[in-house]
Amino acid sequence: MIFENDYSPELNRYEPKQILGKGAFATVISAFDKQMKTNVAIKIVEKNMFKCKEQEGAIRQEAITLQTLFHQNIIKIQDFFETQHKFYIVMNQINGITLEDYIPQLERYEVIIITKQILKALSYLHKNNIVHRDIKPENILISVLEGELIVTLIDFGLSASVNRVEDGLMKQNCGTLLYQAPEVIKKSNYTRSVDIWALGIVVYNMLYNGKHPFYQNGDTKITYSQKIKTFSLNSLMNEDLNTKNFLERTIAYLPEHRLTADQCLEHPWITGKGDISIPFTLNEIIQYQIQKEQKIAKYIKILVFLKYLVVVSNDVLGRTDEINEAGSPNDNVSVIGSDISACSNKFRIRPLIMKSQTRLNKIWNNDSTSNSFAGDSSRNTTDMIPEIIARVGTPNFLKKQLRKSNSMNPEEMKKQLKIINTQKGPQKVFISKPIFIRRFK
């Protein structure tokens, strides 16, 4: 007898039909619900498979929790019964085939359709603090309704409620080895991100006709586990950037590097739009913020240095002797590159205080082809001032006048300039680019 009616009279409403599948821990049969007049699937779990009473209690709690779930991509648990030796989980029966059997006939465009529905189911589960822990092609049913593919997650026997686990971390080593995340294989604490790892493996299966990114024929449990621990991929993911990025962000060795189910649904590979460079995970956001702050710190250092240069420059300017442009009151001055070009201005000259006029002659003689001042590199005071007069009569006029006498003082220089300007009449004076002059002590 499949049913133990003596221990659970409620099971009398179900008429067993045939065995749908059998696993290491449970058997699934097809039955007819006499009361609802519909076909159902009943999962029968042997209690002797559990090592302790705590595990039996976990199954009871899971069955109660799963009865509250309502999602189109999740198998609906209608009822739960228990006898002395067995658990009975009644579910709605779905006419379809597993993804494992569907992969050989899978079309390329269907991969995203199936993945999107799996993600919607996982998002719903995770929001209800439930982790499936056994995502694999055998536990994904594919059916067709009105010409559209319908994906249904089944087999929640290994699922766990995060609410019942301290700090949201689980330790039980469960699930199928080929779809177990690295932290599960290492028997470390893990979270709901183990479902995302398994999803990434399933997507890889669909893209590469059932192939596994790590496992190869002949691998033992030890060699496969070693591949996972060293994260040794069998082959490169020869896909477009969006597909490759999705796989990298789901089959990620560290849990914090994996996307959540909701983030996966927003990924450009799923939506067909967006930028893969946008940070999704917490780790990516932190790294982005660090890089952003490093750039800001770099700019701040540059600004601080520029401010320092301005302060030093102003300090030097405040301690440097001033030299103003000289000319007669009637001179027309055109300032090249300025908005005040062609305007008339009045200029006067202030005495240039220097210890020896001979030094200025010496500096000029060292650079007779330039109108700029050049000085000895040993001098440490530099000032940027407008070039005095670029042209008054002849280009070398000012030099010749200054060389006439080493003893000529600024007042005499001023008088000579006025006399020459009076004789020749108004002259146009062009002020060229600013130059540098050394202050002589």
For the residues of 7-68, what is the DSSP string, one character each?
T-GGGGGEEEEEEEEE-SSEEEEEEEETTTTEEEEEEEEEGGG-SSHHHHHHHHHHHHHHTT
Range of the domain at 296: 281-319
Beta strands in 231-358 (DSSP E): 332-335
417: in domain? yes
Per mean pLDDT, which range of 3-12, 110-119, 139-148, 209-218 is the poorest? 3-12
* pLDDT of 376 higher than 80: no
Residues 6+ apart with CB under 8 A from 162: 129, 130, 131, 168, 170, 191, 192
> In the chain, how many domains are there?
4
Residues in the chain: 441
Average pLDDT over residues 145-157: 86
Do 199 and 146 lie in one domain? The reply is yes
Same domain (yes/no): 220, 194: yes
Are 5 and 19 members of one domain? Answer: yes
Q: Report the pLDDT value the prediction gives residue 318, as an integer from 0 to 100.
A: 63
What is each CA distance from 116 to 54, 242, 246, 251, 263, in whole angstroms? Answer: 35, 15, 12, 16, 12
Sign of CA dihedral 249, 255, 260, 261: positive
Mean pLDDT of the chain: 74
Q: Does any domain span residue 326?
A: no
For the chain, percent of residues with pLDDT exceeding 70: 63
Res. 160 pLDDT band, cuts 50 70 90: low
Cite the active site residues: 134
How many other C-beta atoms lie within 10 A of the C-beta of residue 138? 17
Task: Name the domain boundary from 73, 93, 113.
Answer: 93
Looking at per-residue confidence, does 354 or 156 come out higher? 156
Pair 142, 266 in one domain? yes
> Which of 247, 279, 311 represents a domain boundary (last residue)?
279
Mean pLDDT of 330-357: 46
| Same domain, yes or no: 261 and 294 | no
Confidence of residue 12 (pLDDT cuts 50, 70, 90): confident
Does residue 261 share a domain with residue 249? yes
Most confident of 9-23, 96-110, 371-385: 96-110
**Mean pLDDT across 254-266:** 92
Whether residue 69 sits in one domain with residue 160: no
Mean pLDDT for 64-73 is 87
Q: So what's the pLDDT on residue 73?
A: 95
- Chain segment 270-313, per-residue pLDDT in tens: 998 877 777 666 666 677 677 777 788 888 888 888 877 888 77
66 φ, ψ (degrees, to nearest 5):
-70, -20
Q: Are residues 227 and 364 in the same domain?
A: no
**pLDDT value of residue 106:** 94
Instruction: Please indicate, yes or no, whether residues 243 and 290 belong to a single structural domain of this protein.
Output: no
Binding residues for ATP: 43
Give a yes or no: residue 181 inside a domain: yes
Residues 298 and 251 in one domain: no
Q: Any idea what the CATH number is for the domain that residue 178 is in?
A: 1.10.510.10
Residue 389 has pLDDT above 60, yes or no: no
275 & 285 share domain: no
Residue 94 has pLDDT above 80, yes or no: yes
- Residues 38 and 297: their CA atoms lie apart, in Å, by 68
pLDDT at residue 203 in the model: 96
